[in-house]
Copies of this chain bind each other. A is one copy, B any other.
């Protein structure tokens, strides 16, 4: 039996998130169906991130076990001929038995994109949240430093989360503006339920002047969800990349 790790990109607009569900179409289900047809056997995959309804991905990870002869470098092309248009396999590599789709994750990068303009732009609507009031990106950038390192991110976790601990480590958080598009990019060892969308919502409140820059440190320390910003909609969020431990060992 071989074990293969796939790099999967998707436009999440049409899906009820990654994780298989009973009555709704999800990305995992479509991927499993396509793999099963390609390989002529029942395939189930395990993903590295449970992206929510409507969230996009460029670098989701998914692993499966099966017997097959298609070589790594041809595998994405073979699989893509079975996948729907809005799901694309962008990489495949064999991994050993120690690999685990969640525990082998070293860090993940998400991007939240905002269109900050007077009017909506129909060519960006699927992938950007629209904020018509002017955002002060200098202020947004200034509070990024408070998020870095290990913190209890309870204030940035939606209720209903089943996480054992709300401690997470953030390695990098940046705010970049190109023309009218503001990209918030965050890299961490893991993220709580809705955490990136609440961080983005908090940074938007800072950019609007609703939350002073200096309050952000306290909002993290207090651990009170009601003090942080709102959860922004899924359309602006994309899982960009995942680094696994075997990639680092190689270096």
A63 within 8 Å of B (CB atoms): no
Are A88 and B127 in contact, with the CB atoms below 8 A? no
A120 within 8 Å of B (CB atoms): yes
Of chain B, the residue at the smallest CB distance from A86 is: B122
Q: How far is the CA of A111 from the CA of B85 in the complex (A)?
A: 24
A80 within 8 Å of B (CB atoms): yes
Closest-CB distance, A71 to chain B (whole angstroms): 15
Are B123 and A11 in contact, with the CB atoms below 8 A? yes
Total copies of the chain: 2
Near B by CB (< 8 A), chain A positions 1-47 give 9-11
Q: How far is the CA of A87 from the CA of B58 in the complex (A)?
A: 27
Are A122 and B11 in contact, with the CB atoms below 8 A? yes
Question: What is the size category of the interface that chain A forms with chain B?
Answer: 20 to 34
Of chain B, the residue at the smallest CB distance from A56 is: B123
A89 within 8 Å of B (CB atoms): yes
Residues in B whose Cβ lies below 8 Å from that of A91: 119
Contact with B along A81-117 (1 / 0, CB 8 A): 0000111111100000000000000000000000000
Are B80 and A120 in contact, with the CB atoms below 8 A? yes
A214 within 8 Å of B (CB atoms): no
Are A58 and B90 in contact, with the CB atoms below 8 A? no
Are B238 and A123 in contact, with the CB atoms below 8 A? yes
Residues in B whose Cβ lies below 8 Å from that of A119: 9, 76, 80, 88-91
Q: List, sorted by A's number, 20 A–B pairs whose CB atoms are closer than 8 Å.
A: A10-B122, A11-B122, A11-B123, A56-B122, A58-B121, A58-B123, A76-B119, A80-B120, A85-B122, A85-B125, A86-B122, A88-B119, A88-B120, A88-B121, A88-B122, A89-B119, A90-B119, A91-B119, A123-B238, A126-B126
Q: Can you add 15 more A-B contacts, CB < 8 Å, to A9-B121, A126-B126?
A: A9-B123, A11-B122, A11-B123, A56-B122, A56-B123, A58-B121, A76-B119, A85-B122, A87-B122, A88-B121, A88-B122, A89-B119, A90-B119, A90-B121, A123-B238
